Amino acid sequence: MNTITFPSIENVVNRIPGLPRDSLENCESKAEQITWHHLIADRSDREFRRGHFRKFPEKLSTHLAKRYIATSAKTSLVDANIELREFSEKFSGKYPLSLSIDDQEIMFLANAKARRCRSYSRREPMESNCYKIGIKPPAASISDHGAMARMRDPVWWRRRIYRQINMRLEHASISAGLVHRHKGRYVSDELKQRFRKQLDRNRRILEALTAENEQGQSYNMAELQDLSVSNPKLRRNELMCRMSGFETISNELGYVADFITITCPSRMHARLSVSGDENPKYDGTTPKEAQKYLSKLFTRIRPALARKNVRYFGFRVVEPHHDGTPHWHLLLFMPSESRNELRKIFRKYALMDSPDEPGASERRCTFETIDPKKGTATGYIAKYISKNIDGYALNPGDEEKAFRVRAWASTWGIRQFQQLGGSPVTVWRELRRIRDPLSGELEDARCAADHGNWAGYVRIQGGPFTLRKKLRIRTQKMWNDLPGQYGEPLGNQIIGVTDGKITAISRNHKWKIFRRGEVDSPWSTVNNCTEGKGNLPITNQE
């Protein structure tokens, strides 16, 4: 869309005869101010626009105002009114909650809904209270006690209201043209700002919380978060470690590697790739719906590969196009004799939807052969991992892009990285928690994990194709009857790892969480695993 130059508000006032200067003070938003000079002909247009602009936050309503002026100049004021009304009805008309609702209003609404639910003694009216504002109630599989406890919790309401508002707002922003390479790459500026506020809010909450165990050891929750894979740096390092380990195993087996990219059909893209102009084929698909399409596509590819006895392992990375539509990168290791069959199956299923549209054959599913003479597979995928986490060691400005990608994945609930094949990372992480020496394969696995030797860990587990039920080392769980946050038993919780004969305890403390300034509080449900002090001795289960 071409840039439109708007006259200043003062100039607008000065050139409209008889218009009181203080009339502009009645404008509720910048969008109204921008469109003020279009209200001369009919006062009802002003009220019409005000009713629709107030449904959206400032950045989006301002953009709608500019588009309104462009449409009225290109065609007519009537067409501009129709366009604004249709957009407003599509993204706000059928929803009870306004997209312009702010943080304070969300907190007030969440508290009010929780209070209302506390006045009910049955589940059905509580669920009806959810539907009234478009919130899905707890799943039917959750017990009545647990479901009602959730709906009486303002935090439960707050999270779901935020989630609904953010997804609706972003879908509206995509359709309005605020998400593309020349505007807001991956996510709108409004959503990026909201995501940053959310992270800051979460950080302040964690900084105000302290975790203390039965030995009197206490830690700030924010510091503990920095030591987990929630820390982007640690997350990136772990992914690179696992990727490098897979490549080591692939080289030992004499396998080859392919870098595969799968994209969605054109109708799922809101904007054109180069110009950023509106895609006339766009059917309103959200990034979440596009991700479901790709996931379903892969659930059809996997059994097809299994039927042909094509074995592979590697990683999948999901990242957004400039307009927020997801696409997949897969780095897969396989026997050289399986490469052609694997490529054939991927192409077959990727082109089942709209195979004849322009560019589908060339771009829908592409393959790149990883040539060891030109570089390692790990080095090839490193930039994709970094650009989707923290932008480390990339070009200037890529940290900002990585932050936008994180906001995108968080908003749409998209899992960015997934391991395909190989041994489970949960066992690996539990082994890294154990500091005392063990024995046998448990000690070999513990040392491999402690030294970041993913290849060694996978070998100990039986290799990259070992079935889960045949793993040599698995997590050990124990039933916990203590009530969780919503009064339900915590159920089976991980306490350590086992080889079937010996169990090594990795979680041996009870923790209580309290806010700064509180003297005492009940034991927390976090990591309530076993009694004991320090690392417990290995227990024999025979």
Residue numbers annotated as active site:
380, 384
208, 504 in Cβ contact below 8 A? no
Q: How far is CA 385 from the centre of its chain?
A: 15
Backbone angles phi, psi at 98, to 5 degrees: -75, 145
Comparing CA positions, the residue from 177, 174, 166 lying closest to residue 66 is 177
State the Cα–Cα distance between residues 13 and 54, nearest whole angstrom. 23
Are the C-beta atoms of residues 329 and 368 closer than 8 Å to each other? Answer: no
Q: How many CB atoms lie within 10 A of CB 315?
A: 23
Question: What does the alpha-carbon distance between residue 497 and residue 492 come to, in Å, rounded to a whole number?
Answer: 14
Amino acid at 293: Y
Determine the Cα angle at 263 with ends 332 and 398, to 5°. Answer: 80
Radius of gyration of the chain (CA): 28
Tally of CB atoms within 10 A around 477: 14
Q: Which residues have CB under 8 Å from 52's CB, separation 6+?
A: 64, 84, 85, 87, 88
The 10 Å Cβ neighbour count of residue 308 is: 13
Q: Are 193 and 170 in contact (CB under 8 A)?
A: no
Tokens 């067409």 correspond to 79
Query: Cα–Cα distance between 452 and 445 in angstroms, integer?
Result: 11
Burial string for 361-383 (b: 16+ CB within 10 Å, else e) reads eeebbeeeebeeeeeebbebbbe
The DSSP string of 186-197 is SS-HHHHHHHHH
| Helix orientation angle between 103-118 and 154-176, rounded to the nearest 10 degrees | 140
Q: What is the DSSP letter of 96?
A: S
Residues in Cβ contact with 441 at an 8 Å cutoff, skipping those fewer than 6 apart: 460, 472, 473, 499
End-to-end CA distance of the chain: 72
